[in-house]
Structure 1
Amino acid sequence: MNGSLLSKTLDIKLKRGPAGLGFNIVGGVDQHYIDNDCGIYVSKIKEDGAAALDGRLEEGDRILAINGIKLEDQTHKAAVDLFRTAGEDVELRVLKKSSHHTNGPFEPQDEHVPPAPYLGIFAALSGAAAVILAFVYIRHIRRPF
């Protein structure tokens, strides 16, 4: 992953609950979720599922392995099948998402408004001020003393 210098690997053990492991995945060699990256990623944590109750797995984390089986070079379907047949006790090796991730869907969105709209407003106000000043100036010059 580009910009993942601050990422860390974590082993997480989950016990499958009535609703499964409690998260959804995306990605694979046949369905790149991030450009030029065929990894398997957590796309959603389900409320009250095993992953949510554990609290360490987050949306955007990359699943590197399940029960010791590496997920690199797996199709999406093959990865889903591995999760479905993993048994009741599941161990995940996870690459935590980086707060400095520079590409892909998990990049934080800026909360600020880009400066372009402000420049347009400034230009419009400047133009209106120039028209008003020109009008006042012309009326003042033509007015007899």
Structure 2
Amino acid sequence: MNGSTHLVANVVDIQLKRGPSGLGFNIVGGVDQQYVVNDNGIYVCKIKENGAAALDGRLEEGDKILAINGNKLENCNHGVAVDLFRSAGEDILLQVQKKHPPHRNGPSSPDAGGDSALPALGVLVGVLGAAALMALLYLRFQPTLRRPF
């Protein structure tokens, strides 16, 4: 189930192995220390360089921790969440709500790829405008052909 995606939007399971310096991330939030307005959740606020979470690469700052080894963190005090992390053992299964949707191959909507038609349209309009201006200047300053009378 390592890295599996749940039916709930952006929720994944992340299995971490505690390293010499712990799990390698800090948390904020809880019922007693709301980090997000109207949300008592526990959030990752810092990923420590070369820690277990950084080496794994899936957990990101801003992700919401929903559960630790099956223990749900909703309506949990910050201190209780810290204690759950400390007593979780060496192998920890986190249920995480990602701050961004998972990466998918190809765009999920016409604009998702970031390739908008607007910049290309702007270039086209600019080129056509320059061509029209050149044609106007050419016709305006072209020596007039005189017909003999």
Structure 2 counterparts to residues 20-99 of structure 1, below 5 A: 20-98=22-100
Q: What is the alpha-carbon distance in structure 1 between the residues aligned to residue 20 and residue 49 of structure 2?
A: 13
Partner deviation per Cα, 1:50-107 (whole Å, 9 max, x = no partner): 00000000000000000000000100000000000000000000000037xxxxxxxx
SS state at 1:73 partner: coil
Q: What is the alpha-carbon distance in structure 2 between the residues aligned to residue 36 and residue 20 of structure 1?
A: 30
Q: TM-score, normalised by structure 1?
A: 0.63
Instruction: Report how many residues are paired.
Output: 94
Q: What is the alpha-carbon distance in structure 1 between the residues aligned to residue 53 and residue 12 of structure 2?
A: 14
Structure 1 regions of 5+ residues with no counterpart? 1-5, 100-145
Q: TM-score, normalised by structure 2?
A: 0.61
**1:7: Cα distance to partner?**
4.6
Computing the radius of gyration over CA atoms, which structure comes out larger, 1 or 2? 2
Give the aligned partner of residue 112 of structure 1. Answer: none
CA contact (8 A) 1:11 1:94 kept: yes
**1:44: Cα distance to partner?**
0.2
Q: What is the alpha-carbon distance in structure 2 between the residues aligned to residue 29 and residue 72 of structure 1?
A: 8
Alignment pair present for 1:17 and 2:28: no
Ranges of 4+ aligned residues in structure 1 off by more than 4 Å: none
CA contact (8 A) 1:63 1:71 kept: yes
Tell which has more relative contact order, 1 or 2 (C-alpha 8 A, sep 6+). 1
The percent identity for this pair of structures is 71
Structure 2 counterparts to residues 103-122 of structure 1, below 5 A: none
Structure 2 regions of 5+ residues with no counterpart? 1-7, 102-149
Give the aligned partner of residue 127 of structure 1. Answer: none
